[in-house]
Copies of this chain bind each other. A is one copy, B any other.
Amino acid sequence: MRPNSAKRKLQAGESVTCGWLSIPSSYSAEIVARQGFDCVNVDLQHAMTGFETAVAMLQAIATTDAIPLARAGSRDPEPMMKLLDAGAYGIICPMISTAAEAESFVDACRYPPVGSRSFGPARGLLYGGPDYVTGANDEILTIGMIETRQGVENVDAIAAVAQLDALFIGPNDLCMDYGKAPKAESDDPEVVSAIARVLEAGDRAGKPVGIFCSSADAAIQRQTEGFRFLVPGSDANILTAVTRDAVTKLR
């Protein structure tokens, strides 16, 4: 089976960069995937992307060495299984606030007897290889999002879930759940402290921690803080910022 190079790097304690796709297009997906990220994530939660376009985007990423991931729209297990069947080599699950939610999430990503993922690895076989079914439980990357106050409070129990490979902070939702304005790099003390607490819990549990950042510079800063799964903004963020600047300059 094709090794999950992003998971291996994380297991080896190395940093991993992740491209983030909000635009529903296999062309923009391939553009981003071609630039050297360790992995690229197809967002199904806050992006304008449905399942079939997500499949085409996973195919586009698979033309490169970047590992294809998908963020599920919710904790519902069925769409996760379908994304794995479609060749996602990892799932980012939003809104993990309890260990039970984390258990349910990873259960959907592992074949029996470890979990209860249903058999039918359509594109998984094409991308992973003929031994996909025996290797998938080891290679598929499971990343749980911590983005609520409750998630922060339960973070040690969540990080202790055996099949959960990594934690990922959604800073905007986290800010809002703490009653603050949403910001990727908030300097609100409560938010700063909550983020630090997640990072420490990851360290204690030997699990890498990631965070969504507003830019490459912000991601470099997060890397120095100890984050190892780094998302330097989305395609939509980039396109917005650069075209806005261009128009301003040209006026």
Instruction: Mark A residues whose CB is within 8 Å of B.
Output: 15, 17, 19, 22-28, 30-32, 34-37, 45-53, 55-56, 59-60, 62-63, 73-74, 76-79, 82, 85-86, 94-95, 111-113, 118-123, 126-127, 133, 147, 170, 172-173, 175-177, 179, 182, 215-217, 219-220, 223, 230, 232-233, 235-236, 238-240, 242-251
Residues of B within 8 Å of A219, CB to CB, are 246, 250
A79: B residues at CB distance < 8 A: 73
Q: List the B residue with the shortest CB-CB distance to A28.
A: B23
Chain B contacts for A76, CB-based, 8 A? 78
B48 touches A52 (CB 8 A): yes
With A17-B247, A27-B23, A52-B49 in contact, is A119–B182 under 8 Å at CB?
Answer: yes
- Give the 6 A-B residue pairs with the shortest CB-CB distance, closest first: A46-B120, A216-B246, A74-B78, A36-B247, A119-B172, A50-B52
B74 touching A250 by the CB < 8 A rule? Answer: no
Residues of B within 8 A of A60 (CB): 59
Tell me, rounded to whole Å, the shortest Cβ–Cβ distance linking A84 to chain B. 10
Q: Which residue of B lies closest to A171 (CB)?
A: B119
Distance of A245 Cα from B219 Cα, bound (Å) = 13
Which residue of B has the minimal Cβ distance to A86? B48
Closest to A238 in B: B242
